[in-house]
Structure 1
Amino acid sequence: MHSSMPPRAVSAAFDDPNLVADAGLEPVMRLAAWGRLSELVRETVRIDGADNSAGANPAAKVTLLIAAMCAGADSIEDADRLRHGAMPQLFAGIRAPSTLGTFLRSFTHGHALQLHAVHRRFLGELAARTPLLPDAGQIAFIDIDSTHKRVFGPAKQGAQVGRFKGIRTLHPLLATICTPTTRPVIAAVRLRQGKSADSRGAQRFVTEALATAGEAGCTGTRVLRADSQFYNADVVAACRRTGAHFSITTGMNPSIKRAVASLDEAAWQPIRYTRAVVDPDTGELISDAQVAEIPAYTAFTGRKKAEQVTARLIVRRVRDLAKPAVIGEQGELFPAWRHHPIFTDSPFETLQAERQHRHHAVIEQVIADGKAGPLAHLPSGKFNANAAWLILWAMAYNLLRAAGSLASVFHAKATTTTICTHLVHVPARIAHSARRLILHLPRRWPWQHAWTQLFTTVHVPPEVA
């Protein structure tokens, strides 16, 4: 590919007031109106303080920040892309990034909790109006995990050197909801200080995530999946109080080692993963393993009798190629194994329950999606501003997932980066005719049909659609 014109025959000028670079924001933000985003913010978020202008009209500012994230913003300054060309003809009340930054910095912990409530209700509205979680009435998986986000600057509140030596981080906690046929949506998020333990506040967080799942239409079997840092009696108790099942990786503590050692060799069943899974110890991809089950294992025996839990212990073992096997005259006698136990009360049979648990890694895709977009930076020096930014990202993520579910089968499972590229970053020229705006879009846009499907759907009143 090369330019078809000689250098002096090409010129450029930023002078057309009728162009927009992100025409896909029009149907996406109309979908946000379907989900009653502005109304929910007006009903829930109250920011009062000495600087009354900072908290004025929070609904408009929240909507603008979410729109900026849907357009690819990963910092407050990137919200300035909403003020180009004919964007004011499509959207009213666009604010400058400095105004949005002042708004975020006015947040307190209480305001962040108000925004959490908006996120929870907004997800419920989207799930009710779009095929976001179409199979949630049968089975849904709620995954929880934490991540560390590296930050810079000595004034960044809450940043600490924790797990990674010499690296200052903030420590977000996430919960997602998915079904066997859909990509995850975000049920809840929390921002913690860099040194916070993974399981800090996990009981309350799990309770909130399970409640959110119920509001999002997860009325069938619900299974909470988590890694070993969430293996504690409080998390299991939170699941049982809400009628959810649990599937949690455990460490190889002495009690579990004794239980695994008691397994008969004939109890092990072979399992083959159609998609290789990552070995948590070595990082290698595994396609073949063996699985066995202890039907009744009592966990948390150091707690009171009422807090002890008896459930299934499913153990996966894989060959440990780093350790030499004991070789006898007739060949390999005692191969070396690594064991990965799961404590669960899943209603599914052993191999299915183990395979479902390994799909917990899908939450890592959500984390990677965020870090490739709005979470590339936690942009403020104020902790509560960054907490609000994290919640706004969760709402923008769910909004894009809902838009993708309306556009096409492909976009329902695409990453948000792909959804933005195909459906949001569409250039258009604005024209006026008979008191109507007309968007003139590029001829032969590769994803024209998906874009048109989304546009047509959201321009039907919600009660009719």
Structure 2
Amino acid sequence: MQVSHSQAAVAVSFDEPNLVSAAGLLPVMRLAEAAGLRALTDAHLSVPTDKGANAGLKIASLVAGMVAGADSIDDMALLRHGGMGRLFKACYAPSTLGSFLRAFAFGHVRQLDAVAARFLANLAARAPLLDAPAVGEFVFVDVDDTIIEVHGHAKQGAGFGYSGVRGLNALLATATTAQSAPVILAQRLRKGAAASPRGASRLVADALSALRRAGTPGRALVRADSAFYGHPTVAAALAAGAEVSVTVRLDPAVKRAIAAIPSEAWTAIEYTDAVFDQAAGTWISRAEVAEVPFTAFASRKKAEQVTGRLVVRRIPDLNPKAPDGQGTLFDTHRHHAFFTTVPAQDLGTVAADATHRAHAVIEQVHADLKDSALAHLPSGKFAANSAWLVAAVMAFNLARAAGTLAAGPFAKARTGTIRRKLVNLPARIAASARKIRLRLPANWPWQNAWEQLFTAAHAPPSMP
């Protein structure tokens, strides 16, 4: 590509009042309005009136800014350019939105959590966010935390956690199916030095409640890593009617169970550098899996013990710590084990291992959030940052709903892709016969998807 005019032939001026840079916010925020974002916030949020007047409009403004790419309070100024005032009402100044967030207390954040859960349910009623799983499949609920790095000493709750990075700890629960991309069911911001399982049992209960509220049929399977292998978290999932698949720590009880697995029970699996033998119909792989019956939390009273299966994956230890002198007489392995309550007839050993490893999908959600609204936590006040996290989650789910309505590749696209191709679309506002008309770029590559989103968001409500 080359500039078609000489430098002297081009002049610029910021003086066009009828241009907008994010025309895609129009159908997206129409979808948010139809899903009750403003009404739910006004009904459930009770921030003091001196700062919390028009709370529904202010939360909607925060969500809109985040959908368009804002990752700080100052970035909310993008809602106040060009002709945005002709398309939207109450485009608040960043200072107003900052003061609103700083008025939050812990109770207000929990109220906003309730808004987020109900908002997700309403979005799910208008867009196919979570397709019903096929017979024998699950709705996967993944739980994990991540550290959001912060700088400066004025951030309440900041500290050094397990990653060695100074920040705040965000705990998330996502839901996905084999046909659907992840959405976020529940969220919680914690101190940076908080242990991973802190509050996880409550979050799991909230997440499964939100899943039921969204009307997604099918069995739920809660997946988590070893940090969440504890009775409170597992019991919360089972009490809500879900199955669990949780990585275990190699404590003495687990090591004894692994040692009891007979050598003929190991099965090679499709894994890194695996090769499929067409003649034998099997995988030639250095990774193998096996399982053994196992009772979790056997040291607790009998009513709190959980029976299930211990599924173990082993790979050769290519760098064993051998003492000086004679080497080992046989191969040694590294073992990775997880505990699951799913019966073997519903999920075999190999399938259970592959299903559990897919828990890593939640890492993509963490990366997606940190590439948008969670690039920063904008306030020095912990409650304000907690509210910012909830707004970021609502923006994530709203963008995901917009992508599913646009269909095609956008149904499973990252929110950054949805933002770049469907939301941040420049337009010029024109008026004709008392009707606002958006003049969009000719030959926009994703015109069909945008028009499908626009049509779906502006469709009249369906009759009950």
Normalised to the residue count of structure 2, the TM-score between the two structures is 0.93
Q: 2:233 corresponds to which residue?
A: 235
2:300 maps to 1:316: no
Aligned equivalents of 2:286, 2:353: Cα separation in 1? 13
Aligned equivalents of 1:414, 1:31: Cα separation in 2? 18
Q: Which amino acid aligns with 1:249?
A: T
Q: 2:201 corresponds to which residue?
A: 203
454-463 or 8-17: bigger deviation: 454-463
Q: 1:130 corresponds to which residue?
A: 127
Aligned equivalents of 2:134, 2:267: Cα separation in 1? 31
Aligned equivalents of 1:130, 1:10: Cα separation in 2? 45
Q: 1:455 corresponds to which residue?
A: 454
The SS at the match of 2:269 is strand
2:154 maps to 1:155: yes
Work out whether residues 408 and 449 of structure 2, in 8 Å CA contact, stay in contact via their aligned partners in 1: no
Change (3 A) 1:370 1:127: same
Q: 1:436 corresponds to which residue?
A: 435
Q: Which amino acid aligns with 2:156?
A: Q
Aligned equivalents of 2:133, 2:179: Cα separation in 1? 10
2:36 maps to 1:36: yes
The SS at the match of 2:22 is coil
Deviations 1:59-117 (A, max 9, x none): 00000000000000000110000100000010011110000000000000000000000
Pairing 1:253-272 to 2, within 5 Å after superposition: 253-272=251-270
Aligned equivalents of 2:311, 2:117: Cα separation in 1? 33
2:100 maps to 1:103: yes
Q: 2:46 corresponds to which residue?
A: 46
Change (3 A) 1:270 1:462: farther
Deviations 1:259-302 (A, max 9, x none): 101111100111104999xxxxxxxxx986211010x2111122
The SS at the match of 1:205 is helix
Aligned equivalents of 1:65, 1:318: Cα separation in 2? 48
Q: 2:280 corresponds to which residue?
A: none
Displacement of 1:333 after TM fit?
6.6
Q: Which amino acid aligns with 1:228?
A: S
2:29 maps to 1:21: no
Q: 1:353 corresponds to which residue?
A: 352
17-26 or 200-209: bigger deviation: 200-209
Q: 2:6 corresponds to which residue?
A: 6
Work out whether residues 68 and 79 of structure 1, in 8 Å CA contact, stay in contact via their aligned partners in 2: yes
Structure 1: gaps of 5 or more residues: 277-285, 326-331
RMSD between aligned residues? 1.9
Change (3 A) 1:137 1:192: farther
Normalised to the residue count of structure 1, the TM-score between the two structures is 0.93
Aligned equivalents of 1:445, 1:176: Cα separation in 2? 33
Change (3 A) 1:463 1:275: farther
Change (3 A) 1:389 1:287: farther
Aligned equivalents of 1:122, 1:193: Cα separation in 2? 26
Q: 1:342 corresponds to which residue?
A: 338
Aligned equivalents of 1:118, 1:20: Cα separation in 2? 29
Change (3 A) 1:297 1:43: same
Pairing 1:37-436 to 2, within 5 Å after superposition: 37-48=37-48, 52-136=49-133, 139-165=138-164, 167-273=165-271, 289-294=287-292, 296-323=293-320, 334-346=330-342, 347-436=346-435
Work out whether residues 131 and 216 of structure 2, in 8 Å CA contact, stay in contact via their aligned partners in 1: no
Count of residue pairs brought into register by the alignment: 446
Q: Which amino acid aligns with 1:43?
A: A
Work out whether residues 151 and 169 of structure 1, in 8 Å CA contact, stay in contact via their aligned partners in 2: yes
Q: 1:329 corresponds to which residue?
A: none
Deviations 1:402-460 (A, max 9, x none): 00001022001110000000000100000111121111100000111100110011111
Deviations 1:153-187 (A, max 9, x none): 1111000123244x421011000000011110000
Aligned equivalents of 2:66, 2:331: Cα separation in 1? 52
The SS at the match of 1:200 is coil
Aligned equivalents of 1:315, 1:462: Cα separation in 2? 51
Aligned equivalents of 2:456, 2:261: Cα separation in 1? 56
Deviations 1:91-145 (A, max 9, x none): 0111100000000000000000000000000001111111111125852000000
Work out whether residues 313 and 335 of structure 2, in 8 Å CA contact, stay in contact via their aligned partners in 1: yes
Work out whether residues 137 and 218 of structure 1, in 8 Å CA contact, stay in contact via their aligned partners in 2: no
Q: Which amino acid aligns with 2:6?
A: P
Work out whether residues 324 and 336 of structure 1, in 8 Å CA contact, stay in contact via their aligned partners in 2: no
Deviations 1:223-244 (A, max 9, x none): 0000001001111211221111
Aligned equivalents of 1:4, 1:73: Cα separation in 2? 32
Work out whether residues 269 and 288 of structure 2, in 8 Å CA contact, stay in contact via their aligned partners in 1: yes
Aligned equivalents of 2:20, 2:417: Cα separation in 1? 19
Displacement of 1:38 after TM fit?
0.8
Runs of 4 or more off by more than 3 Å in structure 1? Answer: 273-276
Displacement of 1:150 after TM fit?
1.1
